[in-house]
Structure 1
Amino acid sequence: MSIQIKKEPTGSGISSGLLDIKKEPGSSSQNASNTRAVLVSKIKMNLMQAWRERWTEIQWAIQLKKLMAAYCTENVDVAEILMQQALVGSSPNSLILSYLKHGVLSQMIPYHTVLKYITEFDDFSRPYCILALLHLAEMFGSKISLSPCQDSPLQLVRTILSLIHWQVKALYICLQRIQENKSTVAAEYFVIMDNASRAIINILDRKAVRSLMQIAKTDSPDAYREFEQCEMNVGGTISQLPSNSQLGDTREKINSALLQLSKLNDMAPSLEPVLEITNSPICPTINSLVVLEAILNSSSDIQPFVDQVLVVSRLMKLPMPQLCLEIFRVCFMGFVDTNDFSEDLQWATFAFLKVPHILNAIKEKMPDWDMSSHVERGLDMLLEFSHLLDQTDIKQNFDMLVQFITELQKANIITESQKTSLCMKRSEQRSRLRPSDISGSNEGKNLSRVTHAEATVTSILKGSATLDRMLKSLDSDPHRNSESMIKVLTIMLQGHSFDILRLAAASTGRLHDFMSKLIRINELASQTTSESLKIPNRNQLFDVTFLMIISIFQQNGLGIALSNKENEYALVVQWAKRWLPEEGKYKNVEFIEEQDKVDAILNLMLSSAEIIPCGQIASWKEMIMYLPYALQEILFAVEHMALNLEKVKMIIDHIRKQNIKSLLLVCTTYLCSYMNIVGAAARVKPLKMLEFFTISLGIDTKQPIQAIIDNIIYDILPEGHPQRPIRRYQLSSKKLTSEIMNETLKDSFHRGWLNMASLHTLEQLLVLRGPDWFCAEMVEHLLKQNHTDDATQSLSLAFAIMHMDLERMTISLLRRVLPSLLTTPQNSLLTDPRGYCLAKLCVLSITATHMSKIGQKEPYVRRRHKRLITEVDMDDDFDDGDTPPAKLRKLSEPQLSLSMEDFNLAALADKEDGEVLPSLDMKDPLNKALVNLFQLMNTILMNKTLSSRTWFIVSIIQEAIKCGGTHSSFIFQFMPQNMLNQVMRSLPGVFSDEHILRICDLSTLSGRKMAAKAICNNAQIPQLNLFD
């Protein structure tokens, strides 16, 4: 323990100086021990003389300083000596206690030293001593200095806990005496209880003290549990005492003290929503997330979407009925918005098949929620939008809401009585519609569409049962049932049947199973002739399953098959990895070939024979893998004038006439890949061959083979080519992509939700320009908003748009966009309300990205973004360094390079002796981006210049606090230890004590020290309350 005696002006003969008196273990030196004993003896003699002569406190202090000056090399604990001498008898020595009080108030003796000895006194048989100590404890505890001192802030925390515990213990012991001896209790014990209650109230009345008690709860868990148990004992004991007992007013005082103690459990602040929409009739975030899930991610598993909407609803503080309303309403908005039959299928699948599964998944994650009541309330609110419901029914020529309610009841989400009540309400609304409203929808331009509308709904509803039969059929033995299997599969390829089947499988979580069964059948049919000889019609079986699988790959990505390792070496998967274009990117045509097999296929192509495995081509695997190179030989012959176009056309016509349409797909894919790697001049002849393959196929445009080939040739054929497929949503070549992006975002932000045209435009821009450009453009447009309401609505929609490729766009935001804005001095774009809207977007995106990874066994890959983020990051790390800007100060702490694989938080934190800080996976690009961003922000704060950048950093921290729980902890673990101190130096009082407790990691010793020091500093300055 250290006791500092400050310099004071003294008279002649009195030495002045700062004397540091410490209590240390006994020295091994006998001389030092004797000298200390002499000093202690003289201090006691001096104290006795002061008592006899009734010295004043100042006289005693002056003589003590003289004495200590003579023994300046020795260390003794003056507080211990004073306490021993003051508490010798049954009553305390008031004069010596006044010396002790003077020593503490003049800061000669530290507060916590005296309080430590007070809390160690437990002889309650001397009530007058207890009363005196209670008086000192109340005085010192309520006036205890929280200003920085050389003592550890944690020592102050532990002292305060011990002091409050000792006072509660005094209450408990006195109550026990009253309980045991109801008629013979001395009056002094009632005074003790009154004084202890008053002391507890006065000490805990300071908010800083209550905050330090929260640190003590983590710092000394065993001692805090004992304190809580003692508090419970006090409450239990006083409740057992009769109301007519001797307590009287003392009972009220004790209850007031207990009420003050209960405030320690209410320190956690009520968190405000990170994102709150008050000026819009809909929630843009939930609305747009549902659109993304229904249209772009129709085949994805429901669990990531469930996690997304639950995280967003927590951050926005959305009640469950409101969340249900948003999900239900956007389904009907989608039915009204789309004019494309394939999107009708997607919305119908999502609404009638996927939404019930989503609600059941939410119910499993939240078992305490009364899901049926919440859903019923959501449907009741949906009925208020009767105009939307009427528009949907008119356009679809079907009672959509009643059917939707029926599906919810079938999924056991609502009860039969709830269904009946809701259907009656909707029937009453529909009765107000004129018959011409519905019948008129069958006229004019909607005629062709409406004829399919009712069939769409009924087909989707039957899709699940059809899928069950299909899966059962695929489980059968193809050696025995190949004919019936081919018949069923061929029927499924007609029209939109396969789309319905695929969507039904995806919506019910059985697409992986469906894919694996198709691959198994295809693999059996692709074996060598001897192995598959017993399978009748194996060529047709191979062809139809091959087309089905490739169609699913185009819609859902190759990862749908790779999730099952057994599928990795299947022929169709190997061919797709080798040749099938992804996201408009074609594959390399170079290879190592077996010329004899290529020649054998060439002979089949040049002859009039059927092109099927035979002779040297023993299996479909060899046929599919070597057919592109046989076609390449023909192409080279054309280029060298060895074959004329007429002969080539005959060869291609021979291929097109084959019953096996997979051959057409393989050849078309090769030609597109070849054209992709050659110059414009060399494209003429392969383009002509491609035209021969694709012109007048005589195939229904609804057939999967036509859709597959259209997807392959779309990106390679020049714009304006007569055979280039026409797409409903297509970027204009007459405008810059930045102009298209600006127009789309301006329209969407003003509207408040994404329609189909905006969604597909943004998706194409993201695929075309990449996440870095896309994120930068979106943030730039977001920062153009000046009005708070407009900025908030735009922010809500921008956050949903981030989910188009959440992880990559979040990393682009942290690694590219924010550093660019923060390293621009005097950047007006970061002034509020733009700055805090951007801060909200950052925190929301970080939280959503982090939560999307938790509990996921495999990476969640979205349609049209099939590369894993780790692959993208590895590509970028080496050509895109993270060198800090040259104009910024260098930090003494290490700068993290993105090429580092492992990084320990000790590089960011002041590790205490023996403290082991957790290691993070720094291969994760999100972790690396956060580390670098926080280091950049810390560098800006060290510049000690207030600017919009400073307020933006404060907004980032504030919004992270609002996330609460594990979300806040995840973000703050990357914060350098000195960053909080830097912020509070620049903006004193900007964070409340509750904020500090959430920012600091109280589970670590360094975090508790930082929190205690910050709270002590905070107690000296008024709160700004900038964010309240």
Structure 2
Amino acid sequence: MEPSKVTSKTSSLKSLVLKAWGERWTEIQWGISIKSVLPRGVSGDVYNLADIILSQALVGSYPNELVLSYLRHSLNCQLVSYAAILQRISKYDKFQKRSCVIILLDFLESTLHGITCRGKPEESVLAVALLSLVDWLLTCVRSGHVPKDGTANRLEDRIANKSIQILEYLLNNDFIFAMLYLAKHDDAELYLVIVNKCQEISQDVQNSMDTNIPHVHNILIQLCNIDFKNSTKLTAMESVTTYNEPITYVLQPLLAIRVMLNPTTETQVLVDKLKMIRQIKGYSNPRLYCELIRACLMCLRDSLSKEDHGPQWGAFTFIKLPHIIKHLCEDSKSFKASEEVIEGFEMLLEMFPLLDFIDSHTACSCIELLLNELVKLEFVTENQCSSIIARRASVVSTLSSPNPPSNVLTIIMRTEPTLQRMLRTLDSDYSKIQEALVSVLSQVLSGNSLELILAAASVEGKLRMFVSKVIKFNEFSKQINLQDGAKSVRTNAVLFDMTFLMLCFITQKYGYQSIFLDGGNDTFFEKWCRQCMVELGNPKSHETIMGECDPSKVTALLTAINDGEDLINCDTSWDQICITIIGATHDVLVAWENSTLSSNDVKRILDAMRSSMFCLPICAAAWLCSYMQVLHQDALLKPLNMVQQLLNVLPEPEESQDNYSKCRQVLMCQIIRKMQQDLNPPTMPSKPSHSIISKDSILEQLIPIWESILEEGWLNVKNAQKLKTTLFTAGSDWFVNNLIKEMMKLQYRDELEKAVDLLFAIFHFDIEFCTLALLELMPQYLFNPDINVELIEPQQTALAKLCSYCIYASVELQQNSIVKNDVHKTPINMDIDIDNSWPPNKIMRLDNGDCDSNGTGINGILLKALVALFRRIAVVASRHEQLCRETHFVLRLLEQLVMCGRGSSQIILRHLPPTLLPNLIRCVPELFTVDLILNLYDLNWPSGRKAATSDLCLLQKTRCSKNTDN
């Protein structure tokens, strides 16, 4: 609007005010006349109407209440805004006119209860106007409390008291307090002035010992700390959302799955996962430590009671767990970290049935073992631990142990120094320790020593180091030098055989990708493993390795085997012999199939093949298993019989005692049997215990497993293996859909809370694709009338919580650069037309477009799925004008995303469509709180504060409208 027109209108308004006062107009007359001056649809703020009226009302020593009534009428008629009036009042500085100050305070007291915004221009200035008002009120407090002549009178006391009362109202009003918090960031200099005034007034009050101003100190403290903290009171539906879980059901199955999928998981990966759990569950540090130890002990209990995975869980609990706790404490940056750990152990002592079971079956105190390990890490002191150890020792002494008790914990604690000594031995010069190393490795291969050492190495993160050192010695020993003497040659051959067997066993147990992250090197074993090693779900070509066989060497090897020669004394390197034995096996099989050789001839050749070196039967069996994968069922009999013949135990001759053949033969049989299980042909009678092959449908098998887990509240190894097989057989879509259906059948809140925790952990078999499947499933509950009838309380809160948990877990997985793809991925088809989603400039950008510049944003298919879900819930919010199942669920989902995010939810919420929140606020304003709105935006950026201000004003306006209607 042109300045000349504004000036002209301003002059007209001044004249109108003077005329109204002179003729003593009523408020109705003023309202009629003012509309003849102001253009239709134009606010009086454009012409400074509030300034004009207040200037006239306060021109004298006493206020003109008639003119002031015109201002009140203009405010009620929306001719002027609250922001304009507050800005004008905050500029009034004639505090010597105490009557005028009092009338302004009375005016504020009568109008602040309805404060709101009625247009976009007002939103941008209301917050700062309120902050300016606070500054003015503090000036009123000081001018009224400390008069110039040093003596107070009634008017001054009244000014001070009324100012404090208004300040108290401002701080107790949730809308105004939120606006003050936003203004604090918008105008930091003004807020600093306010803080300084509060400190000065506080000092004045202390000096004067005046008790007439009520709550003055509390008010001043609140003004100095206008801060918004994450609140659990996000909606008006607290009776459903508030749930104090007595025990958590998420950590034990989560750890069981992580350790089962990848026992070599880096400590930092587990620490990041646990920090994510602490965030979404809102646990204190002591509670997290207690639940973490409890989860590990439950897994250990499962392994002890069933004598399965005992070494692995013993090593994880008493070797790796102390390091995890230390990392968690260091990341928390708490000044009382050690005290919090001790407090966690204090809480753990209350779970005495679990502790009694572990201690009675191991004949030792697990609490004492854990605390001693933490003392070794110099994280807690012996004095801190002594009382807990003493309390538990008095109980352990009275427990009766089974006969005999398990000694796995004692052995595990001794295995760690054994591993360190072995690593130092493997660092020695190969030429100087051949015989000593053979003796050491023979002890490792006997009994379950290898299992224990590998368990310790995996939990300490030293498995790859151990494997690399073993491969180094395998490379050194593959060369044969007949000039070194018969004993040296035999020792060299045994060393090659032992290291090859160990490497095969480790690869089968942990997987090729877990121990060779970079794809492997060019060593013989790594090359052989990539081309020949039988792996479940990763078939190898039987022709690739055949191409490297030299026919002349194959013929020579067959001749030597047929003649009964000792292969140890040949002049060919062992890597060549291992390759050549594959060609020899092929020729023997072809000759047998063509009846050139009899079954007795084949048996004699195979027995001779494994008479001295046990790596050769493994190479032969690996090729036979790969070959059988392409054969018709009718042609499997002879290669199967050859593999079975390699498993037959040979009598051990007396002269072979020095060659440690017994322990090598046992390990060879274990490796070949594992190859048979991974091959698992239809005619093979033995199958893994967790096979899903059954006459029942896969759903009929899944439901009893889920019901068993839900009843027990934890996940044992057997059920974990069955769930893993089911997921990778049926796919994540089917798996998630049916488990969600089972969860929605539950009716009681405590059951649903347990189910949410268990499902969240179970989805960690493949959290990325399970989350995507869950996000795709949500629109069915929103739009499908056949199933959205299930979207009622408390089921919908449980579904929203599970969805939020999974989203944050997937985001954590994306952002954790250490995490590798250590689980089998299932193919997935995302039915999302991302091109028709909200375009980038329509997405709620709260940081001026710089959200993803630091690499912390969501990307890939997860982002597409989230945007698609948010777009669909925006449709739900726009279709309904009142509360219904769908809008209630949308509000629940937003609430859970905020609660689980604990201040870091912006990485997800920044992708909300801009129309979602306004539509929801119009639909259910009574369920919204300012806490929820402030949590939905990134208030560190001006754009986030602007959007939050707009929604806060909309909420306040809707509230005022409903109050007026009522």
TM-score range, shorter chain: 0.7 to 0.9
- Give 1:908's match in structure 2, choosing from 843, 857, 868: 843
Per the TM alignment, residue 210 of structure 1 is displaced from its structure 2 partner at its CA by: 1.6
Aligned positions of 1:570-969 closer than 5 A: 570-591=523-544, 594=547, 597-608=550-561, 623-624=577-578, 628=582, 631-632=585-586, 634-636=588-590, 638-639=592-593, 645-659=599-613, 661-696=614-649, 703-718=666-681, 721=684, 724=686, 731=692, 733-815=694-776, 817-827=777-787, 828-854=789-815, 856-862=816-822, 865=823, 867=824, 876=828, 880-883=829-832, 894-896=835-837, 905-909=840-844, 918=852, 923-944=859-880, 947-969=884-906
User: In the TM superposition, what whole-angstrom CA distance separates every residue of 1:108-139 from its partner, at most 9, and x where no partner exists?
Assistant: 22332333333344455666655555454544
Contact 1:201 1:260 in 2 (8 A): no
Name the CA distance, whole Å, in 2 between partners of 1:637 and 1:983.
Answer: 78
RMSD of aligned residue pairs (Cα, Å): 4.2
2:334 partner SS? coil
Contact 2:365 2:393 in 1 (8 A): no
Aligned positions of 1:313-332 closer than 5 A: 313-332=278-297
Per the TM alignment, residue 729 of structure 1 is displaced from its structure 2 partner at its CA by: 5.3
Per the TM alignment, residue 84 of structure 1 is displaced from its structure 2 partner at its CA by: 5.2
Q: Does 1:183 align with 2:150?
A: yes
- Give 2:331's match in structure 1, choosing from 346, 350, 365: 365
Moved more, 773-782 or 488-497: 773-782
Contact 1:665 1:709 in 2 (8 A): yes
Per the TM alignment, residue 746 of structure 1 is displaced from its structure 2 partner at its CA by: 0.8
2:538 partner SS? coil
Contact 1:996 1:1015 in 2 (8 A): yes
Q: What does residue 310 of structure 2 align with?
A: 344
Moved more, 802-811 or 632-641: 632-641
Which residue identity does 1:705 align to in structure 2? M
User: In the TM superposition, what whole-angstrom CA distance separates every residue of 1:363-387 from its partner, at most 9, and x where no partner exists?
Assistant: 3223426455555555555555555
Per the TM alignment, residue 994 of structure 1 is displaced from its structure 2 partner at its CA by: 0.9
Name the CA distance, whole Å, in 2 between partners of 1:346 and 1:328.
Answer: 15
Aligned positions of 1:55-66 closer than 5 A: 55-66=25-36
After TM superposition, the score normalised by the length of structure 2 is 0.85
Which residue identity does 2:526 align to in structure 1? V
Return closer, same or farther for 1:256/1:679 CA change in 2, 3 Å cut-off: same
2:464 partner SS? helix
Return closer, same or farther for 1:37/1:228 CA change in 2, 3 Å cut-off: closer
Which residue identity does 1:361 align to in structure 2? H
Return closer, same or farther for 1:171/1:577 CA change in 2, 3 Å cut-off: farther
Q: What does residue 556 of structure 1 align with?
A: 510
Unaligned runs of 5+ in 1: 1-23, 27-32, 443-449, 885-892, 897-902
Contact 1:118 1:137 in 2 (8 A): no
Contact 1:799 1:841 in 2 (8 A): yes
Q: What does residue 17 of structure 1 align with?
A: none
1:677 partner SS? coil
Relative contact order higher in (CA < 8 Å, ≥ 6 apart): 2
- Give 2:125's match in structure 1, choosing from 155, 163, 174: 155
Per the TM alignment, residue 806 of structure 1 is displaced from its structure 2 partner at its CA by: 2.9
Moved more, 842-851 or 945-954: 945-954
Q: Does 1:460 align with 2:395?
A: no
Per the TM alignment, residue 477 of structure 1 is displaced from its structure 2 partner at its CA by: 1.7
Return closer, same or farther for 1:551/1:1003 CA change in 2, 3 Å cut-off: same
User: In the TM superposition, what whole-angstrom CA distance separates every residue of 1:435-486 from its partner, at most 9, and x where no partner exists?
Assistant: xx54xx43xxxxxxx38x33x3332111111111111111112133233223
Q: What does residue 213 of structure 1 align with?
A: 180
Contact 1:138 1:203 in 2 (8 A): no
Return closer, same or farther for 1:772/1:557 CA change in 2, 3 Å cut-off: farther
Name the CA distance, whole Å, in 2 between partners of 1:70 and 1:1008.
Answer: 31
Per the TM alignment, residue 844 of structure 1 is displaced from its structure 2 partner at its CA by: 1.7
Contact 2:534 2:678 in 1 (8 A): no
Q: What does residue 118 of structure 1 align with?
A: 89
Name the CA distance, whole Å, in 1 between partners of 2:846 and 2:345.
Answer: 55
Per the TM alignment, residue 595 of structure 1 is displaced from its structure 2 partner at its CA by: 6.0
Q: Does 1:227 align with 2:163?
A: no
Q: What does residue 137 of structure 2 align with?
A: 167
Per the TM alignment, residue 651 of structure 1 is displaced from its structure 2 partner at its CA by: 3.8
2:461 partner SS? coil
Name the CA distance, whole Å, in 2 between partners of 1:70 and 1:742.
Answer: 68
Name the CA distance, whole Å, in 1 between partners of 2:126 and 2:690.
Answer: 67
User: In the TM superposition, what whole-angstrom CA distance separates every residue of 1:907-948 from its partner, at most 9, and x where no partner exists?
Assistant: 523789x76554676653333332222223223333328653
Return closer, same or farther for 1:213/1:685 CA change in 2, 3 Å cut-off: same
Which residue identity does 2:199 align to in structure 1? G
Return closer, same or farther for 1:390/1:88 CA change in 2, 3 Å cut-off: closer
Name the CA distance, whole Å, in 2 between partners of 1:922 and 1:418.
Answer: 43
Name the CA distance, whole Å, in 2 between partners of 1:642 and 1:576.
Answer: 32
After TM superposition, the score normalised by the length of structure 1 is 0.80
Name the CA distance, whole Å, in 2 between partners of 1:938 and 1:1015.
Answer: 19
Contact 2:241 2:797 in 1 (8 A): no
Which residue identity does 1:238 align to in structure 2? S
Name the CA distance, whole Å, in 1 between partners of 2:762 and 2:584.
Answer: 45
Name the CA distance, whole Å, in 2 between partners of 1:626 and 1:523.
Answer: 17
User: In the TM superposition, what whole-angstrom CA distance separates every residue of 1:509-547 from its partner, at most 9, and x where no partner exists?
Assistant: 322322232233334445798999999654443332232
Contact 1:605 1:611 in 2 (8 A): no
Which residue identity does 2:624 align to in structure 1? L
Name the CA distance, whole Å, in 2 between partners of 1:917 and 1:389.
Answer: 48
Per the TM alignment, residue 768 of structure 1 is displaced from its structure 2 partner at its CA by: 3.9
Name the CA distance, whole Å, in 2 between partners of 1:97 and 1:543.
Answer: 102
User: In the TM superposition, what whole-angstrom CA distance separates every residue of 1:589-636 from its partner, at most 9, and x where no partner exists?
Assistant: 353865663542353134335558988x7x555555565455445545
Q: Does 1:976 align with 2:902?
A: no
Return closer, same or farther for 1:936/1:526 CA change in 2, 3 Å cut-off: farther
Percent of pairs with identical residues: 26
Contact 2:677 2:688 in 1 (8 A): no
User: In the TM superposition, what whole-angstrom CA distance separates every residue of 1:669-716 from its partner, at most 9, and x where no partner exists?
Assistant: 222222223332343333233233334467669944333222221132
User: In the TM superposition, what whole-angstrom CA distance separates every residue of 1:237-296 from its partner, at most 9, and x where no partner exists?
Assistant: 332455547x662x337446536646843664246999987686x532233334445655
Return closer, same or farther for 1:123/1:613 CA change in 2, 3 Å cut-off: farther
Name the CA distance, whole Å, in 2 between partners of 1:595 and 1:571.
Answer: 13
Per the TM alignment, residue 998 of structure 1 is displaced from its structure 2 partner at its CA by: 0.9
2:939 partner SS? coil
Return closer, same or farther for 1:25/1:789 CA change in 2, 3 Å cut-off: same
Q: What does residue 494 of structure 1 align with?
A: 446
1:607 partner SS? helix
1:982 partner SS? helix
Name the CA distance, whole Å, in 2 between partners of 1:68 and 1:727.
Answer: 86
Contact 2:57 2:65 in 1 (8 A): yes
Contact 1:275 1:840 in 2 (8 A): no
Contact 1:960 1:967 in 2 (8 A): no
Unaligned runs of 5+ in 2: 652-661
